[in-house]
Amino acid sequence: MAEIGKVAVTGCGLMGSGIVEIAAKAGYETTAWEIDEEALERGLASIRKSMDRAVDKGKLEAPARDEAMARIRGTTSLDDLADSDLVVEAIVEDLDVKKDLFSRLDRICHEGTILASNTSSLTITEMAAATNRPDRFVGLHFFNPVPVMKLVEVVRTIATGEEAFRAAYDWAASVGKEPVEAKDASGFIVNRLLVPYMLDAIRSLEHGLASIEDIDKAMVLGTGYPMGPFVLSDFVGIDTLFRIAEIMYEEYAESRFAPPPLLRRMVTLGRFGRKSGRGFYDYSGDEPVPMKLDF
Ligand code: CAA
Ligand code: NAD
């Protein structure tokens, strides 16, 4: 069985920072790679903030936080990932950008390194094919917010070797997650079901069914979901949701995956949700306020 000791995460945004945090907290020496110093600083600061919050809430001891932070090494040089046993990719949802990164990682990393993608909607096979190690290539799909959500979808392609799959599956369990196994179909299990629901909520808004607030309220109080679909879309990221919809629509050619026009307009305007301060809600004040989006 492949031993995973050192871990690296490429991309330290919303998802990558969470993956770095849980890996370091679980005792792994973890390298966080970002595209430039500014993004790296932002990512490391959000990891620190998340751990500080856990300390404030009494969920983490301050020395454990300090030890976890000390296990994290930030870098903007891919060469620093050469000795990693597992690399989890969490960069933008763009096939060409991901393929380029994986082919560079394939050249840099040692022979036994397992490469994994946290993609929401791309197929693992397409990325694995950009490397010379499709047998050591898996999907490790985490959920947002990573420190809280228990699930990881562990995805195998027809080329994934049993040893790499098992090692990735066991690693997911070792960082405190509940793994499930999924085949390499765009969206895997959760997004295959969740994404059409979120897109349908946007279409309902476009059709004037009800207000943003009332649709959210209805789904929280009527079905027990922790967040309504618009709060959730802002939380996932409007840009990311749009990319996911485009990719899934291209894959399945089913209208339920088609990105609604309003979603496209919001991306054009840079309204990416919580991370940019505005999406379906405005986050500039103390409480989120629904945006006026008459369509
Ligand atoms: N990072 C770390 N911890 C966080 C956090 C974050 N961003 N946000 C909340 N938390 C923690 C809080 O510290 C709190 O911890 P304790 O209970 O230990 O104190 C806990 O989560 C609950 O937080 P709150 O009480 O502040 O808020 P809440 O009860 O409203 O829960 C939530 C927040 C866990 C995010 C909850 O609203 C929820 O489960 N929402 C749904 C999230 C979801 O559906 N995620 C999946 C998105 S789809 C996806 O990820 C796949 C994809 O490919 C797009
Ligand atoms: P994000 O926008 O928060 O972070 C993306 C990261 O990619 C940033 O750190 C950015 O610096 C980096 N990046 C941008 N351009 C790049 C380039 N050309 N080369 C290399 N890196 C680049 O996005 P996120 O929400 O963390 O999503 C990351 C991945 O995780 C995506 O594949 C997404 O589909 C997936 N995912 C997202 C969620 C979610 O709820 N947001 C959940 C599960 C999986």
CA–centroid distance, residue 3 to ligand 1 (Å):
31
Q: Cβ distance 48 to 56 under 8 Å?
A: no
224-237 per-position pLDDT tens digit:
999 999 999 999 99
- The answer to whether the CB of 148 is under 6 A from ligand 1 is yes
In total, the chain counts a number of residues equal to 295
192-289 homologous superfamily: N-(1-d-carboxylethyl)-l-norvaline Dehydrogenase; domain 2 (1.10.1040.10)
Any ligand 2 atom below 6 A from CB of 14: yes
The C-alpha atoms of residue 80 and residue 289 are separated, in whole angstroms, by 43
Ligand 1 centre to CA of 148 (Å) is 6
Give SS3 for 132: coil
What are the residue ranges spanned by the domains of the chain? 6-183, 192-289
Supply the pLDDT for residue 3.
Answer: 83
State the distance from the centre of ligand 1 to the C-alpha of 145, rounded, in angstroms. Answer: 5
Does the pLDDT at position 142 exceed 70?
yes
Kindly report, residue by residue over 186-205, the tens digit of the pLDDT: 999 999 999 999 999 999 99
Give the phi and the psi of residue 29 in degrees, each rounded to 5: -65, 120
Output the residue whose Cα is nearest ligand 1's atom 31. 226
Report residue 240 as tokens. 């990311």
CATH C-level class of 6-183 = alpha beta
How far apart, in whole angstroms, are the C-alpha atoms of residue 256 and residue 55?
42
Q: How confident is the model at residue 294 (pLDDT cuts 50, 70, 90)?
A: confident
For the chain, give the mean pLDDT: 97
Categorize the per-residue pLDDT at 2 as very low, low, confident or very high, splitting at 50, 70 and 90: low
Which DSSP symbol is given to 90? -
Q: Could you tell me the pLDDT band of residue 246, with boundaries at 50, 70 and 90?
A: very high
Judge if pTM exceeds 0.95: yes
Binned at pLDDT 50, 70 and 90, residue 137 comes out as very high
Tens digit of each residue's pLDDT (9 = 90 or more) over 69-90: 999 999 999 999 999 999 999 9
pLDDT tens digits, one per residue of 15-69: 999 999 999 999 999 999 999 999 999 999 999 999 999 999 999 999 999 999 9
pLDDT at 295: 61
What's residue 259's pLDDT?
98
